[in-house]
């Protein structure tokens, strides 16, 4: 494989990105295709859930959609990065071009950054499959739903916090930015797209904590009532 370093649009401009090739597909086409694929996944999941469990509450249906979407992104989109991280810059398939577009907000995805690669590998192998299992547990009303939901939500909060912290630390302390200077890349790609995995997991984490806490309170009351008899 060639070791030639090609000019690239990523920051910092001295980042070592080999064999970079510009995307052949426009950003409009990439986002349109992504939106259609996401809608198909969510629509298909909702149809399947409604058929299997028509009595399931709207809140549980939304939770299933969230965890199925998260699991799909983790296992397939991030799985692509895990497998192809060392040749991302020259990729011209759909997922490769999506990653090259997103990497304009974080060039670490173009350089096989150790932290990003290790974090994404854990996400693909552990947290992605666990998201699917949480969705399955919600669908079938399994007792493991909340313990597993708590674990996977904590992983999302921890991973996102670490992701933000390492990048911003390098930016403000070392003066090394991985994001292009245009506000669009920072606020939409880097901040908003990742912040979703803080807000929603925090809600489900709080839900699981309340549910588990209430279950123990009920158990304690039952034990106290038995002792009082």
188-224 tens-digit pLDDT: 999 999 999 999 999 999 999 999 999 888 888 887 7
**Torsion (CA) 73, 30, 167, 67 in degrees, nearest 10:** -20
Mean pLDDT of 160-172: 97
pLDDT of residue 156: 98
CA-wise closest residue to 66 among 42, 49, 39: 42
pLDDT of residue 218: 86
pLDDT of residue 4: 52
Where exactly are the structural domains of the chain?
27-224
First-to-last alpha carbon distance for the chain, in angstroms, is 78
Q: What is the mean pLDDT of the chain?
A: 94
What token pair was written down for 165? 């912290």
17-61 tens-digit pLDDT: 989 999 999 999 999 999 999 999 999 999 999 999 999 999 999
């Amino acid at each position: 494989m060639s070791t030639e370093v090609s000019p690239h649009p990523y920051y910092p401009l001295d980042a070592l990105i080999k064999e970079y090739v510009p995307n052949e597909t426009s950003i409009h086409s990439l986002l349109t295709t992504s939106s259609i694929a996401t809608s198909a996944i969510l629509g298909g999941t909702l149809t399947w859930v409604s058929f299997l469990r028509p009595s399931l509450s709207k809140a549980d249906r939304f939770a299933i959609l969230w965890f199925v979407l998260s699991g799909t992104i983790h296992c397939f989109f991030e799985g692509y990065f895990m497998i192809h991280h060392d040749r991302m810059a020259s990729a011209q398939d759909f997922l490769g071009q999506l990653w090259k577009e997103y990497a304009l907000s974080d060039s670490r995805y173009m350089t096989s950054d150790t932290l990003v690669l290790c974090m994404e590998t854990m996400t693909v192998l552990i947290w992605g499959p666990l998201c699917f299992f949480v969705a399955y547990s919600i669908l079938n009303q399994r007792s493991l739903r909340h313990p597993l939901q708590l674990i996977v939500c904590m992983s999302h909060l921890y991973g996102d916090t670490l992701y933000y912290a390492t990048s911003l630390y390098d930016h403000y302390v070392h003066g090394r930015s991985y994001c292009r200077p245009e506000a669009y890349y920072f606020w939409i790609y880097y901040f908003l797209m990742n912040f979703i995995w803080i807000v929603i997991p925090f809600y489900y984490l709080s839900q699981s904590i309340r549910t588990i806490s209430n279950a123990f309170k009920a158990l304690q009351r039952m034990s106290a009532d038995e002792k009082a008899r």
